[in-house]
Amino acid sequence: MANEGVTASHCEITTENSLIHLIKRHQKLIKLSELLDDICSKLIFFNLSSSTVIITFFAIAAKVARGPVDMINNFGAVVALLIPLFNFCYFSQLLRQSSGGVADSAYNSIWYKGDKKYKKLLWFVIRRSQKPCSLTSMKYNPISLSTFSAVLSTTWSYFSLASSLYDDTN
């Protein structure tokens, strides 16, 4: 019986130490995501704001192209502009989902069997994880796949307007 008490105590200490280690790693990851956001925030804003107009121009140029080579070149430019934009949105979405999943993982652990200090540490992890990390546009708007969808929708609207104006003049 005395042996079991030592084992349980040792297990609690090991679990607590591993939780503290995970918390420190989580804090480092949060700092890295904030640093990445600081670096990319203005770049993302520029890409989002300029891509719509530039893609619209290339799409119009593809529509009015006089030959298949010009059409393919302009269509290729549209795709080349969409790929980096999609990458920003996709990986920001993954970052957001992963950091949001930390709270679920902490809650789904066997927290109710831990001591008061362990529960308090988990509470801090859950509390911090309720605000998921994300890349933003100028520190304002979180970027996700819905942002990519909004850019495509806006681009299509501009393209439809410009296309109808071009068709009316011809």
Asked if the model's pLDDT at residue 4 lies above 70, the reply is no
> For 132-153, how does the pLDDT look when each residue is reduced to its tens digit (9 = 90+)?
888 888 888 889 999 999 999 9
- pLDDT, the chain, mean: 82
Q: For the CA atoms of 121, 35, 80, 147, what is the dihedral angle to 10 degrees? A: 50
- How many domains are there within the chain? 1
Nearest to 136 by CA among 75, 90, 92: 92
Section 59-68 average pLDDT = 86
* Contact assessment for residue 106 and residue 165, using Cβ atoms and an 8 Å cutoff: no
Domain span including residue 154: 2-168
Choose the most confident range, by mean pLDDT, from 14-23, 86-95, 160-169: 86-95
Phi, psi of 59 (to 5 degrees): -65, -40
